[in-house]
Copies of this chain bind each other. A is one copy, B any other.
Amino acid sequence: MAQKPSTPKGTRDFGPQVMSKREFIVDTLKSVFRKYGYQPLETPSMEFLSVLAGKYGEEGDQLIFKIINSGDYLSKVNGIDFADPELFKKLLPKICKKALRYDLTVPFARYAAMNHNELNLPFKRYQIQPVWRADRPQKGRYREFYQCDCDVIGSDALINDAELIAIYDEAFTALGFPAIRLLFNNRKILAGIAEIVGSIELLAPICMAIDKLDKIGEERVKEELAVRGIIDSAQEAIFRIITFSGTNQEKLAFLADEFAESEIGLSGVEEMKEVLSLLQYFNLSITEVIVDISLARGLEYYTGSIYEVKAVGVDYGSLGGGGRYDDLTGIFGVNGMSGVGISFGADRIFDLMEMLDLFPEQSKASITAILMNFGGVGFVASLKFLKQLRAEGISAEIYPEHTKMRKQFKFADRRNATYSISIGSDEAAAGTVKLKNMETGEQQELPIDEAIELLKSS
The digit string for A66-99, where 1 denotes a CB below 8 A from any CB of B, is 1110111111000000100001100110011110
| A401–B68 CB distance below 8 A | no
Which residue of A15, A367, A394 has the most chain B CB atoms within 10 A of its CB atom?
Answer: A15
Query: Within the complex, which residue of B71, B333, B383, B411 is in contact with A4, where a contact is CB–CB below 8 Å?
Result: B333
Task: Check: A50 CB closer than 8 A to any chain B CB.
Answer: yes
Cβ-closest chain B residue relative to A157? B400
Query: Within the complex, which residue of B11, B70, B82 is in contact with A46, where a contact is CB–CB below 8 Å?
Result: B11
A89 to B82, CA, bound (A): 18
**In the complex, what residues of B have CB within 8 A of residue A331's CB?**
2-3
Query: Within the complex, which residue of B14, B23, B333 is in contact with A3, where a contact is CB–CB below 8 Å?
Result: B333
Q: How far is the CB of A107 from chain B (nearest CB, A)?
A: 8
Q: How far is the CB of A4 from chain B (nearest CB, A)?
A: 6
- A41 with B19, Cβ < 8 A, contacts A34-B395, A144-B46 known: yes
Within 44-77 of A, Cβ neighbours of B (below 8 Å) are at: 44-48, 50-51, 62-63, 65-68, 70-75
Within 340-387 of A, Cβ neighbours of B (below 8 Å) are at: 365, 367, 370, 380, 383-384, 386-387
- A5 with B332, Cβ < 8 A, contacts A13-B43, A281-B387 known: yes
**In the complex, what residues of B have CB within 8 A of residue A228's CB?**
none
| A41–B70 CB distance below 8 A | no
| A387–B282 CB distance below 8 A | yes
Query: Within the complex, which residue of B20, B48, B124 is in contact with A40, where a contact is CB–CB below 8 Å?
Result: B20
Task: Check: A425 CB closer than 8 A to any chain B CB.
Answer: no
Task: Check: A111 CB closer than 8 A to any chain B CB.
Answer: yes
A51 to B6, CA, bound (A): 8
Task: Check: A113 CB closer than 8 A to any chain B CB.
Answer: yes
| A155–B400 CB distance below 8 A | yes
A46 to B96, CA, bound (A): 17
Task: Check: A429 CB closer than 8 A to any chain B CB.
Answer: no
Q: How far is the CB of A27 from chain B (nearest CB, A)?
A: 10
Task: Check: A115 CB closer than 8 A to any chain B CB.
Answer: yes
A19 to B13, CA, bound (A): 25
Which residue of A13, A37, A100, A111 has the most chain B CB atoms within 10 A of its CB atom?
Answer: A37
| A125–B398 CB distance below 8 A | no
**In the complex, what residues of B have CB within 8 A of residue A96's CB?**
68
| A411–B120 CB distance below 8 A | yes
A386 to B162, CA, bound (A): 14
Task: Check: A195 CB closer than 8 A to any chain B CB.
Answer: no
Query: Within the complex, which residue of B12, B122, B411 is in contact with A400, where a contact is CB–CB below 8 Å?
Result: B122
Within 375-422 of A, Cβ neighbours of B (below 8 Å) are at: 380, 383-384, 386-387, 390, 393-401, 411, 414-415
Q: How far is the CB of A130 from chain B (nearest CB, A)?
A: 6
| B14–A41 CB distance below 8 A | yes
| A68–B70 CB distance below 8 A | no
- A51 with B396, Cβ < 8 A, contacts A36-B390, A41-B13 known: no
Task: Check: A283 CB closer than 8 A to any chain B CB.
Answer: yes
**In the complex, what residues of B have CB within 8 A of residue A384's CB?**
281
| B383–A44 CB distance below 8 A | no
| B70–A134 CB distance below 8 A | yes
Task: Check: A160 CB closer than 8 A to any chain B CB.
Answer: yes
| B88–A12 CB distance below 8 A | no
**In the complex, what residues of B have CB within 8 A of residue A95's CB?**
68
Which residues on A are within 8 Å of B, measured CB to CB?
2-8, 11-16, 19-20, 22-23, 34-37, 39-48, 50-51, 62-63, 65-68, 70-75, 82, 87-88, 91-92, 95-98, 100, 110-111, 113-115, 120-122, 124-125, 130, 132, 134, 144, 152, 155, 157, 159-160, 170, 278, 281-283, 330-333, 365, 367, 370, 380, 383-384, 386-387, 390, 393-401, 411, 414-415
> With A15-B115, A22-B42 given, can you name 12 additional A-B contacts, CB distance below 8 Å?
A2-B333, A3-B333, A7-B44, A7-B47, A16-B125, A19-B39, A19-B40, A36-B397, A37-B396, A45-B45, A122-B401, A282-B383
CB<8 Å pairs between A and B, sample of 23: A2-B331, A3-B50, A3-B333, A5-B113, A6-B48, A6-B114, A7-B114, A8-B97, A8-B98, A11-B45, A16-B40, A22-B42, A35-B394, A40-B365, A45-B132, A45-B144, A46-B132, A68-B92, A73-B88, A120-B411, A160-B400, A170-B390, A282-B387
